[in-house]
Amino acid sequence: MRRARRRRTPRPDASASRRRPLTPPPDRPLTLLQTSDWHVGSPLHGRGLGLPPELRRARREEVDAAAERAVAAGLAAGADGMLVPGDLWDSESVPPQAVARVLEAFAAFAPRPVFVAPGNHDFAGEGGFYDPAVLRALGMRPWPENVVVFRSGRFETVPFAGRADASVTGRAFLSQAVETGRPLGDPPRRPDGAYALLLLHGSLETYAGPDAAAGRKRTAPFSRDELLAAGFRWAALGHHHSFQAVEDGEGRPVAAYSGSPAGRGLDETGPRSFLKVTLLPDGGNAVEELPADDRGVHDLRLDVSGLDAALARERLAALLASARVGARDLVRVTLTGAKPHGASLDLALPEAAVRPASLLLRDRTAPGRDEEPDERTAEGRFLAAMTGRLSSAPDERSRRVVELATRLGRDALAGRALLPEPPEEF
């Protein structure tokens, strides 16, 4: 089990307090459990891990249990409330029973309040699970009384039940369409009170997690400067799937993505967390990552150039050990480098090595440079042509496409089964 990491910051200097109106100091901390991007109901296919059916079913259950795990973590942490900035489920076609689990879990958190700002996957448009009429039609319980769901596309502010010194401001996505407008371009008014909280589902422009690649996920963009200028004591951010904090000019964390609580694919590697956020009466903030998942996802690479099978097995075991791969983890290892044509690497792990629950080996090796293709054969002519294409590939993506085409072509010529991978593997 990964140890929780805790980040504390000193009380901000007096000049920071002069930048906004003074409010009476609170007499006690406010402790929050922050979580988002559960994506319950995810199908888990095409995620690059190649899970067998039984393990895929088990992982789907672990993803769908996010609400129960979040509530348990919040109760154990002594949280005064829960902040959930969106994407509780993966799509509007999620099975009703998956949403029913969320409702029951939130009810078990009562009387502590839960604040939900629907995102682009669980948007709050008509006909969805945030619509009371839909729940009645399906014979489901209503949203629990301790849950506040923001249902407007404009920012609204609501009180924090039981805390006169706290409020929560948030908005909802009303469809799954990409939002190009800047939600903090005209920021909401910061309410009075020591603990003014913001729920925001969108894309921080300096987010650097694995799921930020090529900006494909970017929606409702905002900058660090816009976030700081809004002046909220804490901003709970959702949409991106890895933990990342935002600090003010004094080094105090004032916002964060908690990340998703369970890795579903290769864009969700690394530790998965809930956040325990403690806002202190003296103006300091403390952020603690609480382990949310005991099954990690790893995407590793191993250069097998010049290795025989025995040495390759040793290197593979060492790679898994250095990455701290556990017995429940899901792992993909991409084999790279050059190996002699026709060579076979038997990479069965040594007896003493930790065996993860799933280990997918992806062959991206190329023929050794010292081996000239025999152009008298069909395979030789094919390899010569693909080598030329590889050398002229304009970018890394094009190289990966050529490498995959080369491997599949060699398999076809050798009579081996062709197993193309999903497009995102490129």
- pLDDT (tens digit per residue) in 208-260: 988 886 566 789 999 999 999 999 999 999 999 999 999 999 999 999 999 99
Which three-class secondary structure state does DSSP give residue 76?
helix
Q: How confident is the model at residue 340 (pLDDT cuts 50, 70, 90)?
A: low
Per-residue pLDDT at 345: 67
Dihedral sign for Cα 208, 5, 237, 89, please: positive
The average pLDDT across 362-375 equals 68
**Residue 278 pLDDT more than 90?**
yes
The average pLDDT across 118-140 equals 94
Tokens for 166?
A: 């706290």
pLDDT in tens, 389-423: 888 888 878 888 888 888 788 777 766 555 544 44
Q: How confident is the model at residue 141 (pLDDT cuts 50, 70, 90)?
A: very high
Is the pTM here over 0.75, yes or no?
Answer: yes
pLDDT in tens, 63-76: 999 999 999 999 99
Per-residue pLDDT at 371: 56
Average pLDDT in the chain: 87
Omega of the bond leading into 132 within 30 degrees of 0 (cis): no
Tokens for 1?
A: 């089990």
Per-residue pLDDT at 391: 85
Per-residue pLDDT at 308: 84
Q: Distance from CA of residue 386 to its chain's centroid? A: 36
User: How many CB atoms within 10 Å of residue 39?
Assistant: 25
Cα 379 from Cα 400, distance rounded (Å)? 20
Which three-class secondary structure state does DSSP give residue 28?
coil
Task: Kindly tell me the burial class for residue 114, based on how many C-beta atoms sit within 10 Å of its own C-beta (0-12, 13-18, 19 or more).
Answer: buried
Cα 293 from Cα 271, distance rounded (Å)? 8
Nearest to 116 by CA among 141, 144, 76, 95: 144
Q: How confident is the model at residue 205 (pLDDT cuts 50, 70, 90)?
A: very high
Tokens for 6?
A: 């805790």
The average pLDDT across 268-297 equals 95
Q: For residues 201 and 173, is the Cβ–Cβ distance under 8 A?
A: yes
The average pLDDT across 37-65 equals 90
The average pLDDT across 360-382 equals 75
The average pLDDT across 278-283 equals 94
Q: How confident is the model at residue 343 (pLDDT cuts 50, 70, 90)?
A: low
Cα 417 from Cα 178, distance rounded (Å)? 40
**Residue 385 pLDDT more than 80?**
yes
Q: Which of 6-10, 81-85, 360-364 has the lowest mean pLDDT?
A: 6-10
Q: Which DSSP string corresponds to 258-281?
A: ---SS--STTS-S--EEEEEEE-T
Q: How confident is the model at residue 8 (pLDDT cuts 50, 70, 90)?
A: low
